Amino acid sequence: MKRICVVIIFVCTFLAAGFAQDNSVSLKLQADSAYVKEDYVGAAELYEQVLATEGEAAEVYYNLGNSYFKADKMARAILNYERALLLNPGSADIRFNLELARSKTIDKESEISQVFFVIWFKAITNLMSESGWAKVAIFAFLLFLMGVAAYVFSKTIFVRKVGFIVAACMLAVCVLTNVCASLQKNKLQLRSDAIVMSASLTVRSTPNEGGTELFVLHEGRKVSIKDDTMKEWKEIQLEDGNAGWVPASAIEII
């Protein structure tokens, strides 16, 4: 009797999991179909449901951003393109659409001059996601071990030299890829950037409506959260250093 109950429970669990997966796929297909039919608002709603049931996915965020872009909701489009880029930083399509959406907003981000090696390192870091860099790091470490083995156990001078060079290079690659993976992981976990969702947002000197008006931001503007300790208000900062307080409801964290 106990065995029969166990079998029944197992079958029910398996069927439930299959049903949930089929339902998720069905939602995704419905969303894709709505997008093709140019029902962009409906497609956005369905993609939101996919994210709510299945969790984060770069492809879904990207499609959701496209839906909001077509529906002329630029702040929402930018928000979801940014979220897609967090999960897939090497995607040229996501970056292109993000810049296209930004070009349709009022506020433009100020370009901060940086030394070439900082720009170069950021570009390398953004080639892949955390998981991508982790896979490269594992592969580099295996090659490092092979190089060490060749250097230690080979009796041929040429093989020992090649093994030493391979081991040294792969060790450097392993360190670099681990640093890149760590940086990408921090981006995903910290999420200290946000997008302004209000059509017009007044930034104030203090966390209340009586604070001095410092400057005005518009929807779609990307900001960094400087102080996240308060529930109703957040201190934000722009790339040029300007900072102030805004209602938490007026921004959405990437």
Domain with residue 55: its CATH number is 1.25.40.10
Mean of pLDDT values over 160-182: 95
The whole-model pTM stands at: 0.83
Mean residue pLDDT of the chain comes to: 89
Q: Which of 102, 124, 158 is the C-terminal boundary of a domain?
A: 102
* Whether 92 and 129 share a structural domain: no
Query: Is 234 in contact with 106 (CB distance < 8 Å)?
Result: no
* Domain with 149 in it: 116-190
162 and 224, same domain (yes or no): no
Q: Which residues are 252's β-sheet partners? A: 195
Which among 79, 102, 125 is the end of a domain? 102
- Domain boundary pick from 102, 137, 169: 102
Same domain for 8 and 92?
yes
Tell me: do 171 and 203 sit in the same domain: no
Say if residue 177 is in the same domain as residue 206. no
Q: What is the pLDDT of residues 111-127, one digit of tens each?
A: 677 778 888 888 899 99
81 & 126 share domain: no
Q: Is residue 110 part of a domain?
A: no
- Residue 118's alpha-carbon distances to 92, 110, 115, 123, in angstroms, are 20, 17, 6, 9
What CATH number corresponds to the domain at position 209?
A: 2.30.30.40
Same structural domain for residues 7 and 73?
yes
Confidence tier at 89 by pLDDT (50, 70, 90): very high
pLDDT the model gives residue 115 = 78
pLDDT of residue 133: 94
Q: What local confidence, expressed as pLDDT, does residue 2 receive?
A: 47
- Tell me: do 83 and 54 sit in the same domain: yes
Domain assignment present for residue 111? The answer is no
Tokens of 69: 């872009």
In a domain, residue 108? The reply is no
Is 185 inside a domain boundary?
yes
107, part of any domain: no
The count of structural domains within the chain is: 3
The Cα–Cα gap between 66 and 44 comes to 9
pLDDT at 212: 96
Residue 244 scores a pLDDT above 90: yes
Within this chain, do residues 57 and 19 fall inside the same structural domain, yes or no? Answer: yes
In a domain, 164, yes or no: yes
199 assigned to some structural domain = yes
Q: Are 227 and 217 in contact (CB under 8 A)?
A: no
User: Do 132 and 42 lie in a common domain?
Assistant: no
Q: Residue 28: inside a domain, yes or no? A: yes
Residues 13 and 95 in one domain: yes
Same domain, 228 and 178: no
Alpha-carbon dihedral sign for residues 149, 151, 155, 158: positive
Rounded to the nearest 5 percent, the helix, strand and coil shares of the chain are: 65, 15, 25
Per-residue model confidence (pLDDT) at position 119: 84
Structure confidence by residue, pLDDT tens digits, 125-156: 999 999 999 999 999 999 999 999 999 999 99
